[in-house]
Amino acid sequence: MRDKWPKIAFFAGMLIVQIGLAYGLVKYILPPKNVNLMENKIKPTEVEIETFEEVVEEVNIESSESDVEPEADSSRSSLLMEEISDYLENELTEEDLKGSITFELDELIINPSDTRGTRYIVLSLSIIAKGKDVKKQSEAKLPAIRDAINTLISRKTVLWLSDINNRPFLREDLKLLLEAVLGDVKVLRVYFTKYLFQ
């Protein structure tokens, strides 16, 4: 019986090591229990750009249909005007648009930071730019543009990207990024024509 004790101790030690490895795997490597990789329970949302006229018309329709007092309705309209004042202050003139072109980047699918591949964002952009041979440069450097945008967005978290207050900062980052990639081009506007989380 004494010859079997070292073997029993060895197998007991191996069992303890395996239990420790299994615990470490479950605790630190596998995703949390509330993340279901097989069934995506998150509903996609899509944000479409509306013109200023459409937004004002929508507010007028909603206010005429609601039972809100006129004072509350006017405060709601003033709140809307405050929210889009930055957009209105920086409206492009016809002189600014002279010689500019608009090009589209459709369906950029990007995994944001800290998602372990379980979430992604789908972006479509409309870009107004002005400069020497903008169209030719944008077509020639399209892979570099897509890669640079992918790198920028993938460094942001879902929480940061989903906060609407961060959209102006993201637009500004994209403008600077596009100007760096395209060279002698001035990016006048970056519009999100699709902003969808999955």
Locate 61 and state its tokens. Answer: 């329709």
pLDDT score of 119 more than 80: yes
Against a cut of 0.85, is the pTM above it? no
123 or 2, greater pLDDT: 123
- The residue-averaged pLDDT of 59-86 equals 54
- Residue 97 phi, psi (nearest 5): -80, -15
Does the pLDDT of residue 138 top 80, yes or no? yes
Q: Report whether pLDDT(45) > 60.
A: no
Query: How far is 64 from 66, CA to CA, in rounded Å?
Result: 6
Residue type, 126: S
Mean pLDDT of the chain, nearest integer: 75
Write the CB contacts of 118 (distance below 8 Å, at least 6 apart in sequence): 31, 35, 37, 40
Mean pLDDT of 120-140: 87
Count CB atoms within 10 A of the CB of residue 28.
7
Q: Is the pLDDT of residue 92 over 60?
A: yes
For the record, the structure tokens of 163 come out as 């906060």
For 25, 58, 120, the CA distances from 196, given in Å and listed in that order, are 33, 22, 8
pLDDT tens digits for 4-32?
A: 778 788 888 888 888 887 777 666 666 55
Q: What percent of the chain has pLDDT over 70?
A: 65
68: confidence class by pLDDT, cuts 50, 70, 90: very low
- Side-chain half-sphere CA neighbours of 123 within 13 A: 25
Of the pLDDT bands very low, low, confident and very high (cuts 50, 70, 90), residue 35 is very low
- For 45-197, CATH number out of 3.40.190.10, 3.40.718.10, 3.30.479.30, 2.40.50.140 equals 3.30.479.30
Cβ neighbors of 161 (< 8 A, separation 6 or more) are 112, 121, 153, 170, 197
Q: Side chain identity at 161, as an amino acid letter?
A: L
